[in-house]
Amino acid sequence: MTLEEVCAKSTPNIAGLYEGVRQAAEELVKRCYNRGVNIRITQGLRTIAEQDALYAQGRTKPGAKVTNARGGYSFHNFGVAIDFVLMASGYDVKADADKDGQADWYEVVEEAKKLGFVWGGDWKSFVDFPHFEMTFGLTTAQYRAGRRPTQAQINEVLARIEATKGEDGEMTIEEKAAFKELQETVASQAKRIETLEGRAKMVKVPAWAESACVAAKKAGAIDTANDGSYDFYRLITVMYRRGFFGPADAVPVKEGV
């Protein structure tokens, strides 16, 4: 899936989030995608009525308990909390779908904390693994009383998003593929350069060029035959065969000349 397609899965559920929290949620989806982990935000703003219905589950209605908060007592009710799910493996906190040696769930947690979210998985009571919240230091009682984050607090969140972009040099999937291709190219070129350098300066005179070098030095054509290149020895040998350094011995031209 493309980044745009992954983001679109979460768009309806983050639309009602409080300013700053919505931007952080959008950034979380993007950063997880760039790490090879696709997530979907399943819950954002939740109405009081929706919260009461969830609270009733496992109490006055069938089903397992999913929350300890009545309507007005959850940060979801004020648009400052989100829940998520892994698109590849659901709620499996041990899954490693991108095969990078780190559980996908905790890659998401890592990115969320960088953005300033508090993770429900760190709570001591009623641990909530899919939950993140950004409360701006306010309690649900203060939200119920009408308190809201200041613009300065929102600006701080936006500044944190910008400050942590590209942190640790994290690359996108496309960048990782391009980098791997570049590494392979560099390795191939390094081997070629090593071969060319070896031919450019040979450790000793090749056996097939010894007679030619002796004749060339005797004729005064060269001062020394040491540290010559493959092409140098080949040229001296060809000239030797053509009689440039006097009569050539009947030495057969070996492979490589």
Element (H, E) at 48: helix 48-56
Q: Based on the domain organization, do 113 and 236 belong to the same domain?
A: no
Q: Based on the domain organization, do 10 and 117 belong to the same domain?
A: yes
Q: What is the pTM of this model?
A: 0.65
Residue ranges of alpha helices (H) inside 57-172 are: 104-115, 140-144, 151-163
Q: Based on the domain organization, do 150 and 218 belong to the same domain?
A: no
Question: What would the pLDDT profile of 146-163 be if each residue is shown by its tens digit?
Answer: 999 999 999 999 999 998
Range of the domain at 219: 201-241
Q: Based on the domain organization, do 98 and 14 belong to the same domain?
A: yes
- Is the pLDDT score of 88 beyond 50? yes
Q: Based on the domain organization, do 208 and 124 belong to the same domain?
A: no
Q: Based on the domain organization, do 98 and 225 belong to the same domain?
A: no
Is 81 contained in some domain? Answer: yes
- Is the pLDDT score of 255 beyond 50? no
Q: Based on the domain organization, do 116 and 220 belong to the same domain?
A: no
Is 249 contained in some domain? Answer: no
**How many domains does the structure of the chain reveal?**
2
Coil, strand or helix: which one is 67? coil
- Of the candidate ranges 66-80, 207-221, 240-254, the one whose mean pLDDT is the lowest: 240-254
Is 257 contained in some domain? Answer: no
Strand order in the sheet with 39-43: 39-43, 81-86, 131-133, 118-119
CB within 8 Å of 170: residues ≥ 6 apart: 31, 34, 35
CATH number at residue 82: 3.30.1380.10
Question: What would the pLDDT profile of 13-54 be if each residue is shown by its tens digit?
Answer: 999 999 999 999 999 999 999 999 999 999 999 999 999 999
Is 227 contained in some domain? Answer: yes
pLDDT band at 231, cuts 50/70/90? confident
Is the distance from CB of 221 to CB of 198 less than 8 angstroms? no
- Is the pLDDT score of 135 beyond 70? yes
Q: Report which of 151, 162, 157, 152 is spatially closest to residue 132, judged by C-alpha positions.
A: 157
% of residues, the chain, pLDDT over 70: 85
Report pLDDT for 253: 45
Is 186 contained in some domain? Answer: no
* Residue that is written with structure tokens 């097939």 in the block: 208
Q: Based on the domain organization, do 90 and 156 belong to the same domain?
A: yes
Q: Based on the domain organization, do 88 and 209 belong to the same domain?
A: no
